[in-house]
Amino acid sequence: MADKLVKDITSMDEDFAQWYTDIVTRAELIDYSSVKGCMIIKPAGYALWENIQHELDRRFKETGVENVYMPLFIPESLLQKEKDHVEGFAPEAAWVTMGGSEPLTEKLCVRPTSETLFCDLYKNIVHSYRDLPKVYNQWCSVVRWEKTTRPFLRSREFLWQEGHTIHATYEEAEDRTVQMLNVYADFCKDVLAIPTIRGRKTDKEKFAGAEATYTIEAMMHDGKALQSGTSHNFGDGFAKAFGIEFTDKDNSLHQPFQTSWGLSTRIIGAIIMVHGDNDGLVLPPKIAPTQVVIVPIQQAKEGVLEKANELAASLKSFRVKVDDSDRRPGFKFSEQEMRGFPLRLEIGPKDIEAGQCVAVRRDTREKYTVSLDEAESFVSKMLEEIHNDMYKRAKEHLDSCIYNAVTYDEFKETIEQKPGFIRAMWCGSVECEDQIKADTTATSRCMPFEDQERISETCVCCGKPAKHLVYWGKAY
């Protein structure tokens, strides 16, 4: 059975898309449901999301975020209040038109995102500078009626958090927008071992209704980009559309400034495609639901199971599990590798005699002989090392997949032959972005914060004077 699990995985070099689908189903992260485009998140997948939530929520709260819960439904008239926003979301909205057996007088949109609901609340509770700021967030599911869907990457329903804040000044809103982007980037690095490029989206790619959208972009194994978290500064656009005003200290009326920021179950797709290999998932130790799995060898022999359980007890500060099922060790190994558990400890009669066990890393397959007395400190150090090495490899991969293009021919040739990001100058016009997308399917991923080199003076597409360095790439 476990053997079969692995044999069923397509090699990633052969068919990356099929490899991805094989992993999400064989590692039992999701199951398909009777509702087209909606996924069932199974225990192994949901435990990942719980660990992500737990750690991200803690980081949010350290910055003063308070959690709330807003309604699932948005009346059509409310969704329509901000023009750009409704244009962006109405085409993919799911509409409730009946309650019980009666048609509704106004149809209700199942929330695709909740800016309009938060604006409606803020209009009621923000009146004075004393009411500001509000730094709210909610963990919930949202619905977008996508035509083509893939587990985690694009589904009609997905789980996420959406932060929505409101401030007295533009500067404070801008600071919060960048602050939360940095929370996402640090989280990806420190917890998921995923390096990202932080930057600003072009107007074409920004969120519907935003003045500025910031993004973190991660690089998958196949050289495609995955937008992994975004943070938006709305200026006072929503406040104007919804009539939100506050009285300042000097008794004058002002519009407040707003932000929103979100990270979703999509990030699980990034974990799979950044770290996974042909044997299955490779989970970052900090969010792995099982960090250490202990496999008793010749477990029927007297004392083996007891010693395995003793070892587990000595490691109780980690998420540890003993696999004492009645299957052959080889079966267990390949199932555990499929599931991506970071560290395996094998312990059999000979090991017990020698007072040791054998440790095997999931990421590199390296083996270590570990004294049972030192198991706890070994595991602690090794999980840290696995995290660091996973990050290092992902960073090397990212760095090795960034190319320059000065001419349009270079651009087209590179995008064709070398999966990854292309650094190229851009004039600032949406026409050039459209042209590039039409010719190559690549999109502008971001104008990176930490890389503003002017590699040439002209737009890679039209040849007119260049304004910004942009990272381009094919994306999920």
Given the rule CB under 8 A, which residues bind its own copies?
Answer: 31, 33-35, 38-43, 46-47, 49-50, 66-75, 78, 91-101, 107-108, 110, 117, 120-121, 124-125, 136, 140-141, 143, 145, 156-157, 159
- Minimal distance in Å, beta carbon 54 to its own copies? 10
Report the alpha-carbon distance of residue 24 to residue 38 in Å, rounded.
14
Helix (H, G, I), strand (E, B) or coil at 311: helix
What residues are paired with 426 via a beta bridge? 468
Residue 78 vs 415, nearer CB to its own copies: 78
Let me know: does 161 contact 263? Beta carbons within 8 Å.
Answer: yes
- Minimal distance in Å, beta carbon 1 to its own copies? 9
Find, among 79, 57, 85, the residue nearest to 161 by Cα.
57
Report the alpha-carbon distance of residue 37 to residue 154 in Å, rounded.
8
- Minimal distance in Å, beta carbon 234 to its own copies? 19
Q: Is 147 exposed, middle or buried (0-12, 13-18, 19+ CB in 10 A)?
A: exposed
Other C-beta atoms lying within 10 Å of the C-beta of residue 103: 9
Residue 141 vs 278, nearer CB to its own copies: 141
Residue 76 vs 451, nearer CB to its own copies: 76
Dihedral angle over CA of 216, 217, 218, 224, nearest 10:
170
Residue 120 vs 174, nearer CB to its own copies: 120
Residue 40 vs 406, nearer CB to its own copies: 40
- Minimal distance in Å, beta carbon 427 to its own copies? 34
- Minimal distance in Å, beta carbon 138 to its own copies? 8
- Minimal distance in Å, beta carbon 257 to its own copies? 21
- Minimal distance in Å, beta carbon 64 to its own copies? 11
Residue 36 vs 355, nearer CB to its own copies: 36
Residue 83 vs 130, nearer CB to its own copies: 130
Backbone torsions φ then ψ of 14, nearest 5 degrees: -75, -50
Handedness of CA 66, 70, 76, 78 (dihedral sign): negative
* Structure tokens that stand for 381 in this block: 């150090």
